[in-house]
Structures are given as structure tokens and as C-alpha cells.
Structure 1
Amino acid sequence: MKHIYLSFSFLFLFTISSFAQLMPPAELQSYYSGVNFNNTGMDLFDDLATKTISKHTNFLSYGEAREVLKIIDLMPSSSSHVLLIYGFSNDTCTTNSSNDNDHRTRDKDDFGGGATCEWNREHTYPKSLGNPNLGTSGPGSDVHHLRASDVQRNGSRGSKRFSSGSGISGDSNGGWYPGDEWKGDVARMMMYMYLRYGNRCLPVNVGNGSINNIDSNMIQLFLDWNAEDPVSPYETVRNNYLGNASNFNAQGNRNPFIDNPYLATLIWGGTASQNTWGDTPVDTEAPTNPTDLVASNSTDNSIDLNWTASTDNIGVSTYDIYIDNNYAFSSNNTSTTASGLSANTNYCFTIKAKDASGNTSGFSNEACELTTDNGTIGEGSDCLAETFENLDTSIGSYQDVSWTGDDGGSWSATKARTDQTISDAAITIDVRGNNGGSLTLPTVSGGIGSLTLTTQRKYSGSTGDLDLYVNGDLIAGIPFGTDPITTTISNINIEGNITVVISGEDGGRVAIDDLSYTCYSPLSLEEFNLDTIKLHPNPVESNLTIDLKSNVNTNIEIFDILGKRVYKNIINKTSNINLQTLKTGIYIVKISQNNSTITKKLVKQ
């Protein structure tokens, strides 16, 4: 949390001086005795968990926790107002609130559960997301993750997972953003709950984001927040109070990530956070080389890649994927798909690992694979396939929902919920009456040949049809009923950039699952004479020559490896194209004449 300055005369606030790296200050050396700070990764996590958990000697009741919050959540300049995590939900509460540098507060005695201007205990780790439910004792009454919160603001947050965002708190990216000033506090509280209660309080259950390479139970989001929002004096005062067994109803244990946020970096890697026990060490050790790279499951335009993770003294942050010795893209995981490739082309892949300090490993082994050649006349291979497995399936009320799809595209839905299933995860839209809900698919450039999906009506209602729109035009109806219905709409046959929307006003709440559609191009490879067109030099540094050997108007398009068009022009004779501004990498050149087309791979040096 940022910009909060405290003057509690009755609480002990120590000053952290410069000590040797990872040597706790004198005041804390007894508490952390036995912890081996030469460890990193999960060894350090386990050491902190086993050596400091026993210091938790006073297990508070839910009622006792409320009284402790009246002490440790007091605002800096008042002994009568508590500071509210997330801020207000209603600015009309000014008669019993106070401002301190825009940090909203509430009278400490206005505790309740229903009135507009009351505060209550916020479980920053929602009880229902624990495994099992955290309840209101043990982890449910641990004050390290309980905060004073406006009643209505607490209700708005509910049990939503934490998600990325910016600015003030609120709904964001299908979850809840705690606000710029609270995100670091939240991250360190989630890390504490995981350390203290193990598999009962997993970060992946309470936050949305990519999975950490070192620990599959941690997400990168909290590591980023921990680094971006440093520990505030307010957090330190709370931590000192709860860790001092002589204070009223103190627990006797501490949050180590408040004592030193750099411990999180040592355990999980990621963005380096501040080392408050000394200077942050300069990391010069490179990760080990990735191993066992395998390329498989090729299609006309994609190849799957899998490899064994690298190891690092701090932690691997990303993997850089090279295609034919040229950098193509990066991945946070040890598996990915290279897409936007050309049919019937051999591609060779290598991988490098990189840590947060920019240290880079050597290359992995090389793995080569040939893309298939199933043709691009009419309906081709899948341009898009979605299982909805990336959804946050806890959304039980109709609202706007957005998420990243299986293929990495941006999906969105209105009047939608995610807690219903067909065979597995599904998106459910409410299409009852006018202005019904809708599902919007990512925009792609491969055209659409046919579309397949499964629908099922949920709750009561009649059978009906959803409407399929492509580029704003109504194409067809998609039936739904009591039982699951899988429908394929063939011969849509629209080329180029397309936008697909599914909506309706047909009196139902309809779940949608297993949606896919094929690419479409009406152009025939067989009609094009490859020998009549030459591209040189290839690889190219700046100027590319396209030799047509004819005067036919020819459309030239160049796409990067992810399918984004970076150049377009029409030529009718041999031409030179200046590509000096393009980044080094692999590109696809699409050349079209009349009713024919070809694609060629281009390497930019």
C-alpha cells in the first residue's frame, strides 16, 4: 500500500537498517531462528513454513478479530476511524467518515452488516474459495488477512477472484482489482495465507493470472503486485502488533513477506521486489538450458511445442522460442503452439530460458516438424477452437465477462454467467426479451468456412434459436433446447478479417460450449504457378525484390508469425519493397493474382 504514514504512539515500529543480505534485523533474528536464508525456491518456502508457523500461539475467535481490527486498522491521524480496504462504495457517508490523502475511513464503532455507512471484516481470501471453506475460525479469523471494509464495497467484491487492473478498486477482467494502493497488501496477504495454511489457501484459487514456473500453486499476478506496490508503514505496524504476543489478542506470528518482500522473489522468482534486509543482490547466474524439446501435432498452420523446464537460482521468468534460428515469440509456460505457419513447410525450433534479471540460457535441443498440406480451397483447418476452460467458473450472476481463450484471443460476453456446464465449462448468456446477452469472438484474419458449437438451455423456458452474425450480417439461427444440441453451420464462406457475434432475444438462458470454426479462402493453390514469382534476397535485411515475370495486378500482403498484417500493396511488375523497419523474425508473404494465391516464408535479418 502506498502513501500512508502512521503515528501510533502505542504500537512499536522498528526502523529497518542496512544489514548483510538476507540477514534479518536484530529485532527479528529470534523469530526467524532456524530459517536457512541461503535456500531459494520451495526449499525456502518450506523452511519458512515449518520454522515460523509454531510462533502462531493465539488463535482468535471471529469476535476477537473484530476488536483487534479496531486497533490495528486505525487511520494515521485519528484514534476513532478505521481505514477501509478498497475505499468507499458510497460517498454520502461523509458525516461519519474522514479523509486522509483520499484514503476512505469509517468510525470504528460503526461496525455492522447492513447499514450503508457501516464497516465489517473483509476476508481478503474469500472463505468460499478455500479448500475446504475457511469458515470463521482458524484461517477464517486470522487477522493477517482480515481488513476493515465498507459493507457495500465488501458486498461488491463478494467472492470474486483478484484480477489485473489499474486505478481505484472495482470489477476488472472478470474479477476484482483491489486498487493501486492496496494491491501490494493483497499480494502479501495471499502469500502469507498460502505459507501459513498450505493447500487450504492456494493463490491459484483466489487470483487470475499466468501460473508461476517454479510453483504451480502461485500466479505471477501477486508477484508483480508485490514488486509494484512496496510495503507501507501501515502494513509494518500491523505486522509488528500481531507478531508481539504481549499485545491485546495478538497472534504471535508474522507475515514474512511484509518483513521482507524480497523473500517472495527468492521463492518464486518473477519481478524483483525490494530487499529490506540489505541491498538486492545482483543476479548474474543464467538459467540452465531447456531440454527435451519436442515438436508435434502439426496442422496446416500450427505446431505444438513441449519441453522440460530450466532451473535457475532465482527463477525462470520466460522462454523465448526461435524458429529457424530467428526469435519468434515468448511463453511463460513449458508448452505452447507456434501458429500462423505455412502449409507443407518444415520448421525447426529451439528454446532459450530467461530470468527476471535478463540472464539468458543457451539453446535447447533443436526439434523440427513439417506442417500438413490439407489445402486451403473453401473450408480448411480450424481458424479458432474454444473449450471455455479458461473461464472463472465462479460467476453466478449475469454480468459482462471477458477472458483469454484457448488460442490466446480476447473473448467477451454480456449478460453472462460461468457457473453452468454442458460437458464441462461453458459460457451461459441470458437471451430473454429485448437487448439479450451476446458472445463476441476474437477478430481473426483467416476468414470463416463453417462453424460448430454445442448449446443447451438452462433453467426454465422454451426451445429457440440464437442468431449468428458475421461482420454484422445475420447468417443463420443456432437451435437450443433442453438437451445439448451440437450444430454445424456450413458454407458460410466469408474471407478476410471477420468478427463473429452470437446473440438472441428468444426467451432462454443458453449455455455454449466446444465452439470452433474453419478458415476459408476461395483461392486455389493448384492454379498458381510458383515458378513465375521470385522473392529475393531471402533472408532479407532491408530491400525485398518481388519478380512477377508478368504485368498482372498482384496483391502482396506480409504477416508476422502471429498473423498480424504488417504490409499490403498491389503491384503489376517487378517491385522493390523496403522492409528495414520490420523486426527480425519469420514472416509469411501472401501473393494473390486473379482467383489464385500462394504463400511463401520470408526471413527478416
Structure 2
Amino acid sequence: MLKLLALLLTVSPAKAEIKALDQLNINSYSVELPQPEFSLYKAFEDLDTNLSGENLFQYLHKRTEIKNPITYTGSSNIMFSSVDNFTCENGKQGVFAFYSLICVNGYTSEGADYKEKGDQNGDGFAGDFMNVEHIWPQSFFNKNLPMRADLHHLRPTFSKPNGYRGTAPFYYVSSYVYATNSGAKFDGEYFEPPDAVKGDVARSLLYFVVRYYDRQIKPADYYDFFVSKINTYLQWNRQDPPDSYEKERNDRIYVYQGNRNPFVDDYTLADRIGEKIFSSH
């Protein structure tokens, strides 16, 4: 990955105070964020190194089941207050706007509290606020749970790039009708994420298909949205491998949901499954 740590001064320490949310009716408590022993090599230590293709796909499908389902409101609040709340380059707590590559200071659970100062992302809209982006559009599965609240495909974004992306497939864009100074672009048909998060997007999509292929998640034009672009997503996954930021995010989600994105733990698993198997689902 083009290191997000260049934009975040530090990744928060492994031991972190996480305040539970009133909306979840849970008292405040402290947890210890998982250490590397929760990485794929431990969580999936029984994984046969020769496993590949459909067998690997089905193995990961079973092993990625969410152990602790969360409500959508709870998931959104957790994302802003904990899962995506790191230390910004100025040394203060904040949330990283996914498509804009900007860290906005704050510590609350409400996206509206994280506001852009002027037009920081250069998209022509000043004072934007954050909301929740579903990498796999929620309208494709009728906003059903657990898909809607699965943190592995949710990201905090400013509302304008989120709105322009809508349900557009992720792909390369040349001429565009909307863009940010981070490299996010929209041409009216496709949305291209910045290079720094192309791999993150790909791993979210691949995870979503592995976890939920047996649910009703497909749009009318599933081929254009996903199948025809699998090769590109596999390339993005290779070219922009997980960095420390994405790996710790995976650890934090594990604390709440009890499952992990295996492609963040080991991005080579995607190629071991392969384009043909992904496209068959």
C-alpha cells in the first residue's frame, strides 16, 4: 500500500481503551486489541498450504462467519469511535476519510462531527462531513443484516465522494465529472479509488463475495459490477498489499465481530482462489 502511515502519525497502540456505546446498552470497558497471535497464521493455523481454488473459497466462507452480529447503528458508531479512530498527523485522535486521504480530528461516534476544514480534498465542496460508505452497496442486498453492518466493507468517507460513487463499480477512470486531490475519480459510470486504497477496496470486495455469496447480494448487472473486474481487483490486491493501518483495523474488527478478513491477514490467498472461482460465485 502507498503507506497511509504517511498521513497518520502513529497507529494506536495494541492496548487501547475502547468506550462501549450507550446505544448498545453496554457498560464502558477496556479491551486489549489482538496481538499478532490473532493473525491468519494462528486463527487459520490448520489451513493446508496446498488448499486452493474452490476448496479454499469454501474453507474461508465457513471460517469468516460473524460470531457477534452488530446492529447497523452500533456498527456505524463503533467505526467512528474505535475501528477507524487512529492518531492523526498532528498527534490528536481522528478518523481517516477513506477516499479523500484526510484525517479529521475527533473522538465521537457520529460521522457528522468529523467535518472538513474548507475544501481540504479539493473536490469543490467545502465543509463536508463524514458518513458510512458501503464498499458493496447496501441497496444490492436490501439493507439486510448482517451484510449492512459488517465492518469489513464499511468505511468512513466524506459525503460528497460517497454520494458520487453511489452504486458504481470500482474501475479505472480517465476523463471524469468529479474528482478529489487524492486521486479519487468518477466518470458517471465507474468510480476509481485513490492508489493508496485500491488494495483495501479489492480486499473488501473479495471478502464480501467469499462471506456472502450464498445470500441475495447480486445487483441486476453483477457481471459489470464485479465479475468482469475480478482480474483488476486481484491486481490491486497485489499492487497495494495491506499495511499496518489496514492490519490493525482488521484486529479491531475482530474484537467486535469475532471474524477477520483473511485477505488482509494474507493477501496471497486471493490469487490462490483465482479469478475463475471468484467469477463462478
User: Do both share a fold (TM > 0.5)?
Assistant: yes
Runs of 5+ consecutive residues of structure 2 not aligned to the other structure: 17-32, 116-126, 175-181
Is residue 81 of structure 1 aligned with residue 81 of structure 2? Answer: no
The one of 255, 258, 263 equivalent to 2:261 is: 255
Distance 1:240 1:47 in 2: 20
Higher relative contact order, structure no. (Cα contacts within 8 Å, ≥ 6 residues apart): 2
Task: Say how many residue pairs are matched.
Answer: 230
Letter of the aligned partner of 1:2 in structure 2?
A: L
> Equivalents in 2 of 1:58, 1:124: separation in Å?
21
Contact 1:165 1:173 in 2 (8 A): no
Counterpart for residue 171 of structure 1: 186
Q: Quick check: 1:185 aligned with 2:200? A: yes
Q: Distance in 2 between matches of 1:140 and 1:206?
A: 22
Higher share of residues assigned strand: 1
1:44 to 35, 56, 68: 56
The one-letter code sitting in structure 2 at the alignment partner of 1:64 is: G
After superposition, where does 1:174-573 map in structure 2 within 5 Å?
Answer: 174-199=189-214, 200-201=216-217, 205=222, 208=225, 211=228, 219-244=230-255, 250-268=256-274
Q: 1:183 Cα deviation (Å)? A: 0.8
Q: Deviations over 1:428-452 (max 9, x none)?
A: xxxxxxxxxxxxxxxxxxxxxxxxx
The amino acid that maps onto 1:38 is N
What is the Cα deviation at residue 117 of structure 1? Answer: 2.8
Alpha-carbon distance change, 32 to 157 in structure 1, aligned in 2, over 3 angstroms: same
- How far the C-alpha of 1:171 sits from its partner, in A, is 0.8
Q: Determine if the alignment matches structure 1 residue 7 to structure 2 residue 15.
A: no
The structure-2 alpha-carbon separation of the partners of 1:137 and 1:206, relative to structure 1 and needing over 3 Å to count, comes to farther
Which residue in the other structure is 1:148 paired with?
Answer: 156
Aligned to 2:30: none
Q: 1:126 aligned to 115, 137, 155, which one?
A: 137
Which has the larger Rg? 1
- Work out the CA distance in 2 between the residues paired with 1:112 and 1:258: 29
The Cα of 1:47 is off from its aligned counterpart by: 1.3
Tell me the secondary structure at the aligned position of residue 202 of structure 2: helix
C-alpha contact 1:183 1:225 (8 A) present in aligned 2: yes
Distance 1:161 1:228 in 2: 19
Alpha-carbon distance in 1 for matches of 2:128, 2:188: 28
Letter in 1 for 2:111: F
Q: Which residue of 1 aligns with 2:27?
A: none
Secondary structure of 1:219's counterpart equals helix
Once the two structures are aligned, what percentage of the paired residues are identical? 27
For residue 122 of structure 1, give the secondary structure of its aligned residue in structure 2: strand
Letter aligned with residue 159 of structure 1: T
Give the Cα–Cα distance (whole angstroms) in 1 for the partners of residues 61 and 268 of structure 2. 16
The one-letter code matched in structure 1 to 2:244 is P
- Match of residue 26 from structure 2: none
Q: Is the 8 A contact 1:122 1:146 kept in 2?
A: yes
CA distance in 2, matches of 1:37, 1:120: 40
Query: What CA RMSD, in Å, does the superposition of the two structures yield over aligned residues?
Result: 3.0
- State the AA in 2 paired with 1:106: V
TM-score, normalized by length of structure 1? Answer: 0.35
Assess if the C-alpha contact under 8 Å between 1:74 and 1:83 holds in 2: yes
Distance of aligned partners of 1:268 and 1:7 in 2 relative to their CA distance in 1, 3 Å threshold: same
1:466-494: CA deviations, max 9, x gaps? xxxxxxxxxxxxxxxxxxxxxxxxxxxxx
Distance in structure 2 (CA, Å) of the matches to 1:187 and 1:258: 10
Q: Distance in 1 between matches of 2:227 and 2:150?
A: 27
Query: Are 1:209 and 1:220, in contact at CA under 8 Å, matched by a contact in 2?
Result: no
Residue identity matched to 2:222:
N
1:47-58 aligned at under 5 Å gives the runs 47-50=59-62, 52-54=63-65, 56-58=66-68
5+ long unaligned stretches in structure 1: 16-24, 88-102, 212-217, 245-249, 270-314, 317-605
Find the aligned partners of 1:258 and 1:35 in 2 and give their Cα distance: 16
Distance 1:174 1:194 in 2: 22
SS of the equivalent of 1:181 reads helix
In structure 1, what is the equivalent of residue 23 of structure 2? Answer: none
TM-score by length of 2: 0.71
Structure 1 CA distance, aligned partners of 2:138 and 2:254? Answer: 23
